Structure 1
Amino acid sequence: MLKKIMSLYENSVLSSVQPTYTFDQYYIFYDKTEKNWLSIPKSNLTENELNLLKVLYEQVKMSSVPPSSLSRKWHEFLLLDGPIPTLSSESNFRFIQFQIKGHGVDPTEIESAIKGFFSDEVQIIWEDDHYGIVIEERRQFSLTESELTSIADTLESDFYVKVSFYIGKLYSASSQLRNHFHQEKEYFEFAKKNLTSTSIITFEKIFPAFVAFNLPDDIKDKVNTELSSIFLEDPELYTTIKVFLENNLNASLTAKKLFIHRNTLQYRIDKFIDKTGVQLKDFYGAFTVFLACLLFEQNK
């Protein structure tokens, strides 16, 4: 099959051994049955063709080795289990992970653009040409969530790509940095699959969904029985309640985001309360209903 696919794309390379080099201009796919690797020039594939090949074969993502000495040390420490770079014990760091969705992404241009938004020098390492990590040493100021949202919007308009960020927490310099990074990487991977409505991810945004996803089945069944059945009957009610909770019970902001009148919003909220007996403006009620919304979303 790979031979047939290779014939469709000029300058493709079929190999019986895994390439030991980094092909910045190629996508590499592995056929487990035939145990062959196929390298296809990135310029020859449309985004739809790439997505189809990802379904059929395992895409081999080969990381680029950073050119600078410090970036290389961070690359080896975080991604290859190498020794920790020499760091001041008084330093604090955070990792800002990012994923780029788009065709013909040039990591060099993206990296240069991202660095331009930071007032202090940062290190950027890449796992592949669509996923990278900004390593920021905390000095005086760090970019806020709203500023990273602006960066995502700017990159989208300048490079015609979609960018999502995971903003990590601040950690002191220690050998535990790698463990912290891999835990945040797990959250980001989960977010990319299950939280597609926002481009900026934080621990507090993803953790409720992460907990809901990992609940035992019997607990999920209890929540679904008590609350989620009403959302099956009225999906519009689910959307209304979830947006209301996500906007801190702010009726004006919720009505604006849903493009409905405040009276319509209040009618739907009252309808939900009448059917469930759960008060949304009570902390415990809001928490329980939000959990039900997350489980309903997962079941969809």
Structure 2
Amino acid sequence: MLQQLTGLFKDHLSTDPAVYSTDKYTVYQLTDGLRFGIENTILTAREVDLLDLLAERVVTSTSDDTVSWRRRLEQTHSEEAEPFRMVHFLFEQLDARTGEDLQQLLRSFFHTPSAVIPLTANRFVVIEREEFVSENDLHDFFTALQSDFLTDGKVLIGQQRKSGDLAVQFRLEQAALRETPLLHIERFLPALTRLTLLSTDVRQELIERFITPLEYESRETIDAFCRANLNVSLTAKHLFLHRNSLQYRLDRLTEQTEIDIRSFEGASFLYTLLRVA
């Protein structure tokens, strides 16, 4: 598609990231993540409407804080030493005024010092830092937003991390958001389990992150625990372990993966990855 657009707009189209922070270009993002900017002066209203159907319009910003967060999210790696969780929102087509109103509501709903980052005209990510909004409150808020703005959307509640690679986490969760059905508010683990079965590239990345670093003993524990329907006593019997020894293994697994294997969602996710590894 980019080749056709380049032929149409010629030198007025640029893929240079430097244009993304200027007000001379309207910037778009294709489904594969590729961005391009087109000079505002040559765009007609009809062309803008057509482009909005073909790609997501990227929201440019002069806010130093927003620009800084975007740069971190778009890097290959960006380590975060403090606890964080990302909540991802994607709505059907929004006009500029509605998008601004929505940003204000997001800022008022989430706890300070959460950062609300507009990614495109329809896509937002909130980075929570100290306090995390409850899932029930998010459900109510999402339902109210769809009703007030008369638009459909979807939400992905990201993984709560004590620390970690913010950029890698962002890419994984954005990929999971794309596969989340419209009108849903989805948790991190069910969304990534679905993504494991749909995307070969992401599947390999998840295996390398969650399964590859584990020693044989931990993998054996995941397999036995899930085959025993998360029954600790039965698992210990199958592995010829004392119950306390198994509890230690389960605690260590949770510490290593930051996934609670004692929960159904956590066990399903790790077991699925183990089976496809």
User: 2: CA distance between counterparts of 1:169 and 1:29?
Assistant: 25
Paired letter, 2:86? F
Size of the aligned set, in residue pairs, is 187
CA contact (8 A) 1:66 1:72 kept: yes
What amino acid maps onto 1:17 in structure 2? Answer: L
2:137 alignment partner in structure 1: 147
Q: Which residue of 1 aligns with 2:100?
A: 108
Distance 1:109 1:137, change over 3 A: same
Contact map agreement 1:93 1:136 (CA 8 A) in 2: yes
Cα 1:108–1:213 shift into 2, 3 Å: same
Residues 129, 29 of structure 1: alpha-carbon distance in 2 compared, 3 angstrom cutoff = closer
Name which one, 1 or 2, has greater alpha-carbon Rg: 1
1:1-300 equivalent positions in 2, closer than 5 A: 16-18=12-14, 20=19, 40=43, 53-54=53-54, 59=55, 61-65=57-61, 67-69=63-65, 71-81=66-76, 89=81, 91-106=82-97, 107-139=99-131, 142-174=132-164, 176-191=165-180, 195-196=181-182, 198-213=183-198
Q: Is the 8 A contact 2:75 2:167 kept in 1?
A: no
Gaps of 5+ in 1: 6-12, 216-282, 292-300
* AA matched with 1:157: S
Q: Percent same amino acid among aligned pairs?
A: 16
Deviation string 1:115-171 (CA, Å, 9 cap, x unpaired) is 1112333111122111121010133xx222221121122222222222321100111
Q: Which runs of 5+ in 2 are unaligned?
A: 31-35, 201-263, 273-277
Partners of 1:152 and 1:199 within 8 A in 2 = no
- Whole-angstrom distance in 2 between the partners of 1:151 and 1:110: 12
Deviation sequence 1:84-105 (CA, Å, 0-9, x none): 5xx6x4x310011111213424
CA distance in 1, matches of 2:24, 2:144: 24
Distance 1:131 1:43 in 2: 23
Q: Which amino acid aligns with 2:173?
A: E
> How far 1:24 moved relative to its partner?
9.9
Greater helix share, 1 or 2? 2
